[in-house]
Chain A
Amino acid sequence: MKDSGIIWPWLRRRIIAVVMLCVAGCALSLVGQPAADWQRTHQPAFRSEELKGIVGQGVLLGMFGGLRSIMADMSWVRAYSYWEKRDRAGSESMMRLAIILDPGNIYFWINAANIIGYDQAHWEIAAREYGGRIKVQDSVKQTLYREYAENALKLLDDCIARFPDDSRAYIYAAQLTRNKLNNIPMEAEYYRRAAECKNRVWFAGRIYAMILGEDMGKPEEALEWYRDYYRRILADKRYENRPDLRQIFQENLEDLEERFSPVPVGDSKK
């Protein structure tokens, strides 16, 4: 016999449970807000176009299953296996996937850029030469070197935008610019930014001054910049108790003055 009175208590209890879940979820989301905010800033969400790319790779479930980092690592290991086979498409797609999955790991950005900038042009040339049966012209080679280096630099620029305080990306960008593009002003600029960023490396300042003074023919500007840089470092409270730094800077400055200005300037000793 049918009886709606028997279904309603059953249904009512479940409706109440769902309502309780919703109310609790809303209330507890306030408790979790600080953690959620921190996650949002340090683990940016995927862009829709990135999502579409990932779906094709078949790693969606693993990624969404909370295994982003491990999927990124495995993608990177796969990229290495493609690297061994000199597979441009395979290695680049796996490297970019690793970057998308774990954009917080600067290792992926830098090494992907190095492989794209230094290796892939040679792979393409080798592929075009069909094992030496065809000779690729030098002009074509230069064009390829340039194209791949520019792709790599674009990746490094994205890396710098994400890690503006890490000097490593600037250094690798400077080296790539020198080795593959022969663009001295651009190289110098990267070294300058490496010297000025929050987690600076000291040698970057010296190299910038050297490039400015010797390669770009601006020795006075180089000396002036380096003296100013030295003053700013000395004034920085973070390096108050670093006599070793003072010695390094003093030696560097004396060396630069010797190169660019044979007569030592009195106030360099201050």
Chain B
Amino acid sequence: MTDSSLLRVRWIAGNTFVEALRQRFFAFLFLLAAGLAASGMLLRTFNFGQSELKFIADFGFGAMFLFGSILAIVMTVQLFFSELDNRTALTLLAKPVRRWEFVLGKFLGIWTLLGVFIALLGVVLAVMLSIRMPELVESASRNGEPLPFLNLKGLGMFCLLQWFRLGVVAALSLMICSFAQTFLYAVIVSAMGILLCQVQSAGVSAFSKPDQETWVRTLANGVGKVIPDLQLFDLGVPLVLSPAGAPQSAVLSALGYGALYMPVLLFITVFLFSDREI
């Protein structure tokens, strides 16, 4: 990758990021996500005790996952297809811009946006947990219950994991865009693909039990190897709420998995996109 390639990628990424940021969809989705995360605070009326911290965290993690995934899929498809539909891709690719520079620039712009989304939501969640924590500690001490535990550094690490997860989601969506002919097709197939990636470990475990037929077990194990496993990134509770934390091997494994899957998916995207007729 030469310096001029890097510059082109950077300019395309910057333009993509600014274009995405100026869309109302991002702000709308962020407000929804923050609202869902903040609604965990309403649970204090139920008097869950020290478990309330987990409830708040679950709402925050769920908001990050659900709205982050929607943002990753819809934004990726929209920003990619708008270039093709509006023929701005025509003007851009007529410049000395290589297909891989275009794909990488688009991805980095979207991934940066997703990072901003996760960071903002992480701040919202950290504030809520920090507000509630001292109150719950005092209540638990008074009632002789085990004290709740909160690790904000762990929350930072969890946000990093989610950023990597959404990076894989965006890269997968981009790969589907590279051969999809319509916006709707790309969104639907991407959403189903992500669902499959989230489900695969549960499905593999359920269908690879010894009591299942051999062909079912073989198929389940094979599918499990081939489809990305997005559940690896679900380390929120141990990282944030457990004194024991999550083992470093699991965290590094998930980060490495995401860091390697993204370039693989982008490579396949470039491979498919390189002969697409603009």
Contact = CB atoms under 8 A, between A and B. Distances in A.
Do the two chains touch directly in the complex (Cβ atoms below 8 Å apart)? Answer: yes
Interface of A: 9, 13-14, 16-17, 20-22, 24-26, 28-29, 31-36, 38-40, 42-43, 45-48, 51, 61, 64-67, 69-70, 72-73, 77, 80, 104-105, 107, 168
A47 B212 CA distance: 13
A107 B264 contact: no
Contacts of B227: 25
B271 A24 contact: no
What is the interface of chain A mostly: helix, strand, loop, or mixed?
A: helix
Interface stretch (B5-13, B60-68, B72-80): B60-68
Interface in B179-232: 179, 195, 198-199, 201-202, 205-206, 224-232
Given A38-B250, A65-B66, A69-B61, A107 B205 contact: no
B225 A24 contact: no
Nearest to A102: B58
A133 to B, nearest CB: 34
B238 to A, nearest CB: 7
B249 A36 contact: no
B253 A17 contact: no
Given A20-B264, A66-B234, 11 more contacts: A28-B228, A28-B257, A34-B252, A35-B257, A39-B250, A40-B205, A45-B205, A51-B206, A77-B43, A80-B46, A107-B49
Contact of B257 (A17, A31, A66): A31
Interface of B: 43, 46, 48-49, 51, 54-55, 58-59, 61-62, 65-66, 69, 146, 179, 195, 198-199, 201-202, 205-206, 224-232, 234-238, 246-247, 249-254, 256-257, 260-261, 264, 267-268, 271-272, 275
Given A35-B232, A65-B195, A24 B206 contact: no
Contacts of B62: 67, 69-70
B271 A16 contact: yes
The 8 closest A-B pairs by CB, nearest first: A45-B205, A70-B62, A107-B51, A32-B257, A35-B253, A34-B253, A25-B226, A38-B250
Given A24-B264, A67-B62, A105 B51 contact: yes
Contact of A25 (B43, B49, B54, B228): B228
Given A28-B260, A32-B253, A65-B66, A17 B226 contact: no
B58 A17 contact: no
A80 B251 CA distance: 35
Contacts of B253: 31-36
A26 B231 contact: no
Contacts of A45: 201-202, 205-206
A20 to B, nearest CB: 5
A134 B7 CA distance: 85
A38 B247 contact: yes
Contacts of A47: 206
Contacts of A73: 43, 55, 58-59
Contacts of B272: 13-14, 17
